[in-house]
Each structure stands twice: as C-alpha cells, then as structure tokens.
Amino acid sequence: MSTPLSALDLVLLAVYLAGTLGLGLWIGRSIRTGDDFFLGGRRLPWWAIGMSLVATDIGGTDIIGVGGAAYGSGLAVANFEWIGCVPAMIVGAFVFIPFFWRTGVATIPEYLERRFDVRVRTALSICWQIFMACNLGVMLLASARMTSVLFGWNETLCIVATAVLVGLYTIVGGLAAVVYTDMIQCSVMIAGCLLVLLLGVADLGGPGEFWGRLSPEQKSLVLPLDTETPFPWTGILFGLALILSPAYWIGNQAIVQRSLGAKSAFQAQAAYVWGAGLKNLIPVIIVLPGLVAALRFPELENGDKAFPSLVSHLLPSGLRGIFLAAFLAALMSSVDSYLNSASTLITHDVYRRFLNPAADPRRMLTVGRLVTGVLVTWAVGFALALSLFDEGIYTIFQTLMSFFQGPALAVLLAGAFWRRATGTGALVAFLGGIAATVSQFLLQNATVCAWLDLQPLFQIEAPFLYYSVWGFLVAVTLLVLVSLLTRR
C-alpha cells in the first residue's frame, strides 16, 4: 500500500500545511473574548459554515474507509450521505437550527437546561465530553496509522505533528480559525478526491465503460434484509435515516456549534442548506473511487486498500502530494472541530456553570485556550496509549456514540415539540435509553453471551444502526410515562 512521495509532492504538502497554519494564526489576531473564541463573535458567514460542516463530517479515515466499504458493498454505501445526511440537514435548517440560534446558547446542553433543568444538561454534557475527548485520540491514532501505511511515516511522529499543527491554530483562533481553515480543507479534499475519480474512470475507458462493467448489486442503492453486506435497508432507514442522522445533525455539539456562530438565524439556515448541497457531491468523490478500484483491482484482500491502490497506480509525482493534502485536510478538519467543541462543552458546561458563573468574556477566553491545550495533550497521550492495542478501536467508539445518540434525540425532540415534557422525565428517559442500548449490546455480543452461557439475541454486522433505534424507543416511552406522572 505504500505510496512513494517525490520532492515535488513534499513541497506541495509543505506549502499547504504552512498556508493552513498561517491562516489560522492570522485569524487569531482578532480574538478578544470568549464569545469570539467559542462562537466566532457570531460573525461567521453561511458559505464558510456550510463548507466547514462538510469538512467536519468527512475525516481522513472516512476517505479510506468509505471507499473500502464501497469496494465490498457497492453503491449502497452512498446512503450514509444521501439518506443519512441530506434529509436531516434540510429538516435541521428549517426547524431546529434557527431555533437554537435565537436562544443565544453556546452549547446544546445549555439549551436543555433552559428547557428542562441542570440535571439534564449535566448528563448530556458529560456523555459528549467523554466521547469527544476520547475520540480526539482515536482520530489521531486512526489517521496516523493510515498515514504511516500509505506513506511509510513514523506513527508516533504523525500523531504528535498533527496534534501540534491543529492545536496551534485552534488555540489561537478558536471557532473562526476552525471554520475558515475547514473551508480551505473542504475545497482541497473535494479537488483531491475528484482528481482520483476522474483519472480512475479514464483509466477504465470512460464513464460508459465504467458504469457498464458494474454488476446490478454494485449499482443498487437498496439492499435486501438478508444481504451479506452490513447495510440492509432496515438498518439504513430506521437506524440511520430516522435516528442516528437527525441526532448527529441537530444534537452533535461539534456540528451545531458552527451554526450558532452565524451572523443571523437566516445565515445559520443557509449554511445547512449549502452544506446539504455539497453533501450530494461527497458520495461521488469517495464512493465511486471504491467501485473503480473494484473493477481495476478485483483481488484486493482488504477494501481499505482500494483508495491507496488507485493513488499508487494513477497519480504521478506532484499529484500524489495533492492527494496527501486532501487526506490531511479531511483529517485536520475533524480533529480541529472536535477539539474546539470539546473545549466549549468543558468551559461553558463545567467551568462557567459550576466553578465561576461570574466569569467575564476575557476570563472565558483564557480558560477556553487553556482547556484546548490540555485537550491536545490528552489526545496525544490517549492516542499513544491506544496504539498499544489492536485495530478496531475507531469502530468501538462509533458504537459507543450510538449508545446515547438515540436517547439524546428523544430528549431534544420532546424539548422542542412537547410542552408537557418534564425535567425528571427527560433525565430518566436519557439514562434509561442508554441502559437499554448497553443491555442490547451485551445480549448481542458473542463474547459476553459465551461468558454468561447465553445465545446472542441476534447476529448482524452493523449493530450500531439498531442500537440507536432501541435506545430511542425506550427513551420516548420513559419520557412520556414519567412526564405524565410528574409535575409540569
């Protein structure tokens, strides 16, 4: 899988990285208060926010992993963008995002305290803080492993260098630096992946030849329940489209925080619509290359080698540097977003709420930068610790996120649409939903069942798509029952 880099490749990469760092540091000159740091002074334009949303959602591991999934499962993987993102973004744009913006909050848990009480805020915030802090290390490790395999670089050096680069401009420039650098990274990512696709299709003889050689299964967007792939239509529709996707696009702090920094409620809406438009392009540039590789290299033992194989085969000196820039752009845009949002949660939901409610804007800026620096150090240490274990950690953390996303969505929907929902009902629903998903995981996990001398409840390859459905249904039931039994 190793892809040799020439001097020209390295020069192009160095120019890109220097430009990204320079832009972030330049933006940092105008940061004066906590509001500037966490929300960009609420002066961010819609077009930059929309591109940042896309860049945040697509990480370096997604470029490799989604292409690899398409190599084995076909075009159905595109549903994670077309069905799993676009509808939820449109609903969010016209229902939730302007509503959140008008409340003037900095975090989603802060809104939940206004709607319910501090118990609900604290429970949800703790879940997101733990997940984001740990996921920073996971993203650094997963991307470093991929980079070390692709380009033969030292894994530890990749972890430290990425953390220092991203940490510098995030600490200095805050959300504004994240959004504007994400805008550049989104453009580079699209250009680099599109280049690989165009050269790959041309190598096969053109669009007609490429499409004609694909099997009906590879072209299908809807797969039956008994499919051998991990993407049956039931999981895509009920787990992804109805639960995980709305929970992600209206409840994930790393996503919603960008729109909270928009100039107006209308611009917050426009950002989501613009991002949804760009999202329609993403499957074209990261899924189709996997299908190209399936035709060009049908004997690969691992689908994750699909994209790297195309790069090694198609891109000459210089152009490989563009792809590497695109890969690192996707990586950095995810890390900087989670870094800034994790800092926002800790500073607002812990420091300001419990430790120093009277903190002035300048004090919030100082604490925010300090917390961001601590998170960078933690992420490097956690990534190095995880490097001692085997692969599969990234998937584990995605599964852990599915444990609380369904219950979190139930609480958010009830808070927005049902006046009778109470704080006690929301808290019991959130915690009960998490307990339900964890129980389902234990009953489905073959290792745990063997230890308990039980038969697994069911056998599926993508259980996280179903955990969220179960957690959501349990949470809704508990929320309704407890709310009706408690005082308004």
Ordered DSSP codes for 418-438: -TT--HHHHHHHHHHHHHHHH
Distance between CA atoms of 82 and 263, rounded to whole angstroms?
28
| Average model confidence (pLDDT) across the chain | 86
pLDDT for 4 beyond 70? no
Distance between CA atoms of 308 and 92, rounded to whole angstroms?
35
User: Is residue 404 within 8 Å of 438, Cβ to Cβ?
Assistant: no
Pair of tokens at residue 174: 């805050």
Q: Rounded mean pLDDT of 260-277?
A: 95
pLDDT digits (tens, 9 = 90+) for 306-325: 887 888 788 887 777 777 88
Distance between CA atoms of 480 and 418, rounded to whole angstroms?
10
Q: Rounded mean pLDDT of 281-297?
A: 90
Among 216-225, 255-264, 386-395, 396-405, top mean pLDDT goes to 255-264
User: Is residue 267 within 8 Å of 46, Cβ to Cβ?
Assistant: yes
* Lowest-pLDDT choice from 144-153, 182-191, 277-286, 343-352: 144-153
* Higher per-residue pLDDT: 389 or 141: 141
* Lowest-pLDDT choice from 166-170, 218-222, 265-269, 346-350: 218-222
∠ CA 95-101-104, nearest 5°, is 145
Confidence at residue 68, expressed as pLDDT on a 0 to 100 scale: 82
CA dihedral of residues 153, 56, 398, 437 (deg, nearest 10): 170
Confidence at residue 346, expressed as pLDDT on a 0 to 100 scale: 95
- Separate counts of helices (H) and strands (E) for the chain: 25, 0
Confidence at residue 257, expressed as pLDDT on a 0 to 100 scale: 94
Can you tell me whether residue 44 is helix, strand or coil?
strand
User: Would you give the distance in Å from CA 277 to the centre of its chain?
Assistant: 18
Confidence at residue 339, expressed as pLDDT on a 0 to 100 scale: 92
- What's the pLDDT band for 461 if we cut at 50, 70, 90? very low
Closest Cα to residue 180, out of 32, 23, 337, 306?
23
Among 190-204, 219-233, 365-379, top mean pLDDT goes to 365-379
User: Is residue 438 within 8 Å of 207, Cβ to Cβ?
Assistant: no
* Higher per-residue pLDDT: 76 or 213: 213
pLDDT for 377 beyond 50? yes
* Higher per-residue pLDDT: 14 or 92: 92
pLDDT digits (tens, 9 = 90+) for 98-112: 999 999 999 999 999
DSSP string, 60-98: HHHHHHHHHHHHHHGGGGGHHHHTTTHHHHHHIIIIIHH
Confidence at residue 462, expressed as pLDDT on a 0 to 100 scale: 47
pLDDT for 449 beyond 80? no
pLDDT for 71 beyond 90? no
Q: How far apart are the first and last CA of the chain?
A: 61
Instruction: Please enumerate in sequence order all residues whose Cβ is within 8 A of that of 354, keeping only pairs 6 or more positions apart, or say none.
Output: none
* Lowest-pLDDT choice from 31-35, 61-65, 126-130, 284-288: 61-65
Confidence at residue 483, expressed as pLDDT on a 0 to 100 scale: 97
Instruction: Please enumerate in sequence order all residues whose Cβ is within 8 A of that of 203, keeping only pairs 6 or more positions apart, or say none.
Output: 292, 296, 313, 314
Instruction: Please enumerate in sequence order all residues whose Cβ is within 8 A of that of 359, keeping only pairs 6 or more positions apart, or say none.
Output: 34, 351, 352, 367
pLDDT digits (tens, 9 = 90+) for 318-372: 777 777 887 788 888 888 999 999 999 999 999 999 999 999 999 999 999 999 9
User: Is residue 423 within 8 Å of 119, Cβ to Cβ?
Assistant: yes
Q: How far is CA 220 from CA 6, 19, 66, 236, 304, in A?
A: 39, 41, 16, 13, 21
In degrees rounded to 5, what are phi and psi of residue 262? -70, 160
pLDDT for 200 beyond 70? yes
Q: Rounded mean pLDDT of 242-260?
A: 90
pLDDT for 381 beyond 60? yes
Distance between CA atoms of 376 and 368, rounded to whole angstroms?
12
User: Is residue 409 within 8 Å of 246, Cβ to Cβ?
Assistant: yes
User: Is residue 53 within 8 Å of 271, Cβ to Cβ?
Assistant: yes
* Lowest-pLDDT choice from 5-9, 168-172, 312-316, 388-392: 388-392
Q: Angle of helix 361-386 relative to helix 118-151, nearest 10 degrees? A: 50
Q: How many CA atoms lie within 13 A of 280 on its CB side?
A: 7
Closest Cα to residue 403, out of 474, 461, 485, 323?
474
Whole-model pTM: value is: 0.88
β-sheet bridge partners, residue 44? 262
How much helix, strand and coil, in percent to the nearest 5, is found in the chain?
80, 0, 20
Q: Rounded mean pLDDT of 245-260?
A: 92
Distance between CA atoms of 128 and 244, rounded to whole angstroms?
15
Pair of tokens at residue 398: 């995605």
